[in-house]
Amino acid sequence: MSATGRAALFFGPGQPMELVELPVPSPEPGAVVVRVTRANICGSDLHIWRGDGLLAAMARPDGRIIGHEMTGVVHALGAGVTVDWAGTPLAEGDRVVYQYFAPCGRCRSCLRGMTEACARSFKVLQGKPDVFPHFRGAFADYFYVTPQMAIFKVPDIVTDTMVAGVNCALAQVVMGLERVSVGLGDRVVVQGAGGLGLYATAVARDRGAEQIIVIDGIDERLELARAMGADAVIDLRTTTPDSRVAEVKERTGGWGADVVCELVGRPEAISEGLRMVGIGGRYLEIGTFYPGTSLELDPGFLVMANIRLEAVAAYDARSLHLALGFLHRHVGDLPLDAVVSDYPLERINDAFADQDAGRVTRASLVTM
């Protein structure tokens, strides 16, 4: 076992991240030390790096490890850990996915069975790198999976590039679509065909949606949306909010959608998307996850149409397990192997700059 591992420390927007060596911890009973193999730069990491709005305040610019979208192999198992959270035997060297946050199990949310809304979940990410267990974020050689974090063994046929996004976008989409109970016969609109939107399209189809309409303004994404199961796509570049609402109405027999999902990340999309919901429909909010914005809405329309609004942040252990099962079932029939551009960890600053400038769609830091 190597005694130390590298970690990239974040010192604030505009500051270069710095690689340091940290001691590799020994796992406490119930914990797992993971050797990270691949960590992607997620949209929210970019927000932190740029210092957008309140996100700048959410990430501490004092030399912490950021990043959360990752996968790795078991480096060391704590006492008592012999199986993953689904009962599958777990050994050193096994490929795994895991939660990067730690629901406490004993706050008001956890006690009500809503671990995704745990008030203390993200405290674990705020640990300082010079304090045990040191490795709290994805952009490092190791990650410390506490006993509260769900961990699952990855089936051999699911590749690292498929699985790296599971502990963020896919698990959250699985949780969200479950919350608004997308099912047989539902007509679904997906606003935004980035990582979240593409997964939402495929998962909605898997759950039995009758019709899926995806909205975006980038050719490559619209094409992928069709491959993931969209029946129709609407191009943002050649339409207006009014014409898009009209098109959704027209495509749904004048009624509107049963479920609309906001996976764009801008409040204007919500104002527009709410107008696409039909009577008795549900609106799922995931994209605009950062506080400090507002939107225009007509509450009378929501009331008269009996619309249900649901917002979902993070996800529970069950959703992560279901997400992995979804990947496993669709390895052969969906383009799930995300296109990523590999960078070694020591080029993390270039990776962020390139993704920010749009030179790469998704940078992935490879540490092994």
Give me the residues that bind Zn ion (CB under 5 A), please: 42, 69, 104, 107, 110, 118, 168
How many angstroms separate the CA atoms of 257 and 117, rounded? Answer: 27
How many angstroms separate the CA atoms of 215 and 223, rounded? Answer: 11
Q: Closest distance between Zn ion and the C-beta of residue 30, in Å?
A: 17
Nearer to Zn ion, 69 or 178 (CB): 69
Is residue 192 within 8 A of residue 201, CB to CB? The reply is no
| Burial letters 21-46, b for 16+ CB under 10 A, else e | ebbbbebbeebbbbbbbbbbbbbbbe
Nearer to Zn ion, 109 or 271 (CB): 109
Q: Closest distance between Zn ion and the C-beta of residue 112, in Å?
A: 10
Nearer to Zn ion, 124 or 168 (CB): 168
Is residue 342 within 8 A of residue 142, CB to CB? The reply is no
Helix ranges (DSSP H) in the chain: 43-50, 55-58, 108-111, 160-163, 171-179, 195-206, 219-228, 241-251, 267-274, 299-304, 317-330, 348-356
Is residue 3 within 8 A of residue 39, CB to CB? The reply is no
Q: Closest distance between Zn ion and the C-beta of residue 148, in Å?
A: 9
Q: Secondary structure of the chain: what % helix, strand, coil (to 5)?
A: 30, 25, 45
Report, in angstroms and rounded to the nearest whole number, the Rg of the chain calculated over CA atoms: 21
Q: Closest distance between Zn ion and the C-beta of residue 106, in Å?
A: 6
How many angstroms separate the CA atoms of 8 and 143, rounded? Answer: 12
Nearer to Zn ion, 112 or 237 (CB): 112
In one-letter notation, the amino acid at residue 315 is Y
Could you count the other beta carbons within 10 Å of the beta carbon of residue 140?
Answer: 28
Structural tokens at position 335: 């383009």
Nearer to Zn ion, 103 or 278 (CB): 103
Nearer to Zn ion, 107 or 309 (CB): 107
Q: Closest distance between Zn ion and the C-beta of residue 146, in Å?
A: 13
In one-letter notation, the amino acid at residue 322 is L
Is residue 94 within 8 A of residue 153, CB to CB? The reply is yes
Nearer to Zn ion, 25 or 43 (CB): 43
Q: Closest distance between Zn ion and the C-beta of residue 298, in Å?
A: 32
Nearer to Zn ion, 90 or 336 (CB): 336
Closest CA to 286 of 307, 305, 311: 311
Nearer to Zn ion, 74 or 166 (CB): 166
Q: Closest distance between Zn ion and the C-beta of residue 255, in Å?
A: 34
Is residue 163 within 8 A of residue 36, CB to CB? The reply is no
Q: Closest distance between Zn ion and the C-beta of residue 312, in Å?
A: 14
Q: Closest distance between Zn ion and the C-beta of residue 346, in Å?
A: 22
